């Protein structure tokens, strides 16, 4: 699946920028859901659609994060709750993670 995503995004997604993509997807999902709820406030069926859209966008963000938020050396998943400025070494292999190159 990662190979397919690399083709689609032409290698532009990596462990360095997936945090920004994740945040953009969460914010986009929230805004889209709020707009749809505002448009369809009296129609309960369409309101569920807006919640479903938000859940799908959130899930996409978490899914992409789980694929790309990994150590570039050992491919171990990095902890999500740690900001990358504090994450200097991989907790699994101990290699230094270079965020600038």
Question: Is 30 a residue whose pLDDT tops 80?
Answer: yes
pLDDT bin (cut points 50, 70, 90) of residue 67 is confident
Q: Which two tokens stand for residue 15?
A: 């462990």
Q: Say which range, 1-10, 28-37, 71-80, has the weakest mean pLDDT.
A: 1-10
What local confidence, expressed as pLDDT, does residue 84 receive? Answer: 62
pTM: 0.60
Return d(Cα 50, Cα 82) in angstroms, integer: 31
What local confidence, expressed as pLDDT, does residue 1 receive? Answer: 62
Exposed / middle / buried, residue 33 (Cβ in 10 Å: 0-12, 13-18, 19+) = buried
Q: Which residues contact 64 (CB under 8 A, 6 or more apart)?
A: 5, 13, 18, 21, 22, 25
Question: Is 12 a residue whose pLDDT tops 70?
Answer: no
What local confidence, expressed as pLDDT, does residue 72 receive? Answer: 82
């Amino acid at each position: 699946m990662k190979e397919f995503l690399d083709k689609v995004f032409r290698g532009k997604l990596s462990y360095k920028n997936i945090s920004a993509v994740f945040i953009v997807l969460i914010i986009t999902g929230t805004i889209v859901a709020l707009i749809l709820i505002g448009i369809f406030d009296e129609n309960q069926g369409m309101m569920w659609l807006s919640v479903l859209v938000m859940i799908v966008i959130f899930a996409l963000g978490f899914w992409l994060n789980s694929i790309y938020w990994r150590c570039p050396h050992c491919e171990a998943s990095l902890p999500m709750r740690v900001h990358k400025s504090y994450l200097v070494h991989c907790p699994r292999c101990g290699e230094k993670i270079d965020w600038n190159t």
